[in-house]
Amino acid sequence: MSAEAADPGAPLRRRSRPRIDLRRLGRVALRGPVSRDRLPDAISHVAEAHRAHHPDADLTILRRAYVLAESSHRGQMRKSGEPYITHPLAVTLILAELGAETTTLTASLLHDTVEDTEVTLDQVKEQFGDEVCYLVDGVTKLEKVDYGAAAEPETFRKMLVATGNDVRVMSIKLADRLHNMRTLGVMRPEKQARIAKVTRDVLIPLAERLGVQALKTELEDLVFAILHPEEYEETRALIAAATGPDDPLETIADNVTHTLRDAGISAEVLIRPRHFVSVHRVRRKRGELRGTDFGRLLVLVGEDADCYAVLGELHTCFTPVISEFKDFIAAPKFNLYQSLHTAVVGPEGAVAEVLIRTHRMHKVAEAGVVALGNPYAQDPAAPQTEPSDERADPTRPGWLSRLLDWQESATDPDTFWTTLRDDLAQDREITVFRTDGGTLGLPAGASCVDAAYAQYGDLAHTAIGARVNGRLATLSTVLSDGDTVQPLLAQDTVSGPSPDWLDHARTPAARIAITGWFSDHPDEAKPDPETADATGPGTRGEPAAATEREAPARSRSGPRPTGVVVDDPNAQVRLAGCCTPVPPDELTGFVVRGGAVTVHRRECPAVAAMQEIGRAPVVARWADGEGRESDAGCRVTLVAESFGRPRLLADLTEAIATADAAIVSATVEPPSEQRVRHTYTLRLPDAAGLPGLMRAMRDVAGVYDVSRAQHPAPAG
């Protein structure tokens, strides 16, 4: 299987390892007189490729699978005019060359029998067992008669769910699509374009994530030729023109070979031509192509330690381009890929990119999960365990688990199809650590919102902030690879998310959950500015980095008792988050969406702002002259200004706790000229305790002022 140019006529560079040519399969010999103990001639090449990877493989089951496939497809022809059996044979050969084990090859031979012939799944199960039956069922398309326009997205959903239990399902699908793309020229141009776009948006990203670079690169080139024929031909001409005797990579490869030989390092140095799409990308990035841009050096060694020995020799004997160094051995990519990447300057200033890996790493880089064989095979040396209905798949990566989780919520086929493409467009993954020692796999650019939903599911609706690497952080904080994140949830389980969270959510699971909550609570989707229950500019949890003690008062079941009386006894009353009035503050209220009355302190800037836009004030006063909330207490926002010093935050929160106040949320602004501004939204048992609390906070060393919050008026 060539992981390079998809063009069969493209010349290979000298010193390159002979590439696998899968195009040799043309019109195969159909079933003829065959003795019972030998394979039909039509699959002898499949057997040869399979035995190269698995010398002890039992080929009897392959013979039986071929006989069933050939007899059931007999009389069917492909649009190219070839007998249909050539297709499952070609797909099986692709997988055999990649090193797939016997069960996968058996299912590959049979993958279209249930879909296109009279063979049933029960027959497959009876003759070949449960695993082969599962793989065949996984790649069998759903009928358009039953699903209509939703047949394609629902077929992919079915395949992905099956892949979650056995990644070999997707291996067969990728090989199937590769052979179909190779023979796509017999289709109408519009159908070619449609199939190529689905391949580009869904199957190529899946091949990348499963690490099957040999399939991915050829699929990319085939899609490139169909969707961008002019650029493809330009790239093809550039590659052809660059092929000649004066190849700068040849000179550098010779120098590298001699350098490693002199150092006593046993290594194989190859020139690895770039495939068409790779050359096109380099050209777009750099403009003019250099002679060394059409390929890279590949150094293959025996052991992991040899990789670093090669790197040391190259960086010692050549001038390295440090910005090009990447270590994917110590930190493998999420798709199993391992290699050292570097670049060195050769004679006359030519820069060559170099890949350094072991032979085992190279096999996995080419074939990905296919190279791992059967993930469920019992190790004879391992202790025998009781069979379980739940089979743990060691090849199931984090991105696949996330995809399977969110697809359950995307019940609508269009939503699933659109979200799947968006999710697969995320081309890099990070790993963050949970405080309990577990890990979360998230796409690059994910925020604390994504981490909260990944860890807690729908419980994350009550998130009020997070701790990132031990520090309080907003939910919008973007996470980096290796961060430790602890989402903080409110005890108030009826709180809901903020609409702003959608701006920070990168994972489909988070977006679907947030959107679903607002679909169930349409009144919460577009809150008025004056009703925003915030601790500062923004909405709940943004920008507040809150503690676990209590969520803000936003609630699905309506506002809590406020101890405030307005003229309309049936109106719902809530205290404004911008100024958090407490007794004996003088009050003014305003009617907002839904008929509720939001009550502000009379000196709050929001009062003047709403009067300017014509809002009529509502008379409001504290009940019984006291206005105390006997059950929930009173809520207030305080601003503490201080000089920066170690343990300041700890001392302030201790003073607050000593005053029997609960922290609803807290924001610490970045220090400016050694001064720090803290904003706390607190709940006190009684408003009478507010003066004592403010004194206690002022007594903390370094604090020079504590005042009631006065947020800017919201925009009208």
Question: In terms of Cα–Cα distance, which of 709, 706, 702, 713 is closest to 671?
Answer: 702
Bridge partners of 637, per DSSP, are 681
Is-catalytic flag, 115? yes
Alpha-carbon 538 to chain mean position: 28
Three-state SS across 649-698? HHHHHHHHHHCCCEEEEEEECCCECCEEEEEEEEEECCHHHHHHHHHHHH
Name the H helices within 210-293.
213-227, 229-242, 248-262, 276-286
Question: In terms of Cα–Cα distance, which of 24, 186, 17 is closest to 94?
Answer: 24
CA–CA gap between residue 317 and residue 464 (Å, rounded)? 55
Please state whether beta strands 662-668 and 675-684 pair in parallel, antiparallel, or not at all (unpaired): antiparallel
CA–CA gap between residue 140 and residue 334 (Å, rounded)? 28
Give the 3-state secondary structure percentages of the chain, helix then strand then coil, rounded to 5: 45, 15, 40
**Token pair for residue 446?**
């994910």
Cis bond upstream, residue 543 (ω within 30): yes
Backbone angles phi, psi at 135, to 5 degrees: -65, -45
**Token pair for residue 520?**
């169930």
Burial of residue 649, with CB atoms counted within 10 A of its CB: 0-12 exposed, 13-18 middle, 19 or more buried: middle
Residue 209, H or E segment: helix 204-209
Give me the amino acid identity at 466: A
Half-sphere exposure of 418 (CA within 13 A, CB side): 8
> Which region holds residue 625: left if phi is over 0, alpha if psi is between -120 and 50, else beta?
left
- The CA-based angle 663-545-593, given to 5 degrees, is 80
Give me the amino acid identity at 17: R
Backbone angles phi, psi at 16, to 5 degrees: -80, 145
Neighbours of 688 (CB within 10 A): 14
Q: Tokens 């194989």 identify what position?
A: 268
- The CA-based angle 242-248-249, given to 5 degrees, is 95
Question: In terms of Cα–Cα distance, which of 256, 370, 405 is closest to 318?
Answer: 256
> Which region holds residue 269: left if phi is over 0, alpha if psi is between -120 and 50, else beta?
beta
Is-catalytic flag, 233? no
CA–CA gap between residue 676 and residue 641 (Å, rounded)? 6
Three-state SS across 605-651? HHHHHHHHCCCCEECEEEHHHCCCCCCCCEEEEEEEEEECCCCHHHH
CA–CA gap between residue 228 and residue 222 (Å, rounded)? 10
CA–CA gap between residue 271 and residue 293 (Å, rounded)? 12
CA–CA gap between residue 98 and residue 76 (Å, rounded)? 28
- Give the full edge-to-edge strand order of the sheet including 484-489: 439-443, 429-434, 484-489, 463-468, 471-473
Active-site residue, from 58, 112, 116, 705:
116
State the angle between helix axes of 213-227 and 359-367 in degrees (0 to 180), rounded to the nearest 10.
40
Active-site residue, from 21, 41, 115, 436:
115
Q: Are 163 and 156 in contact (CB under 8 A)?
A: no
Q: Are 656 and 682 in contact (CB under 8 A)?
A: yes
Q: Are 485 and 434 in contact (CB under 8 A)?
A: yes
CA–CA gap between residue 105 and residue 61 (Å, rounded)? 10
Helices (runs of H) and strands (runs of E) counted in the chain: 26, 21
Would you please indicate which residues are annotated as catalytic (active-site) residues? 115-116
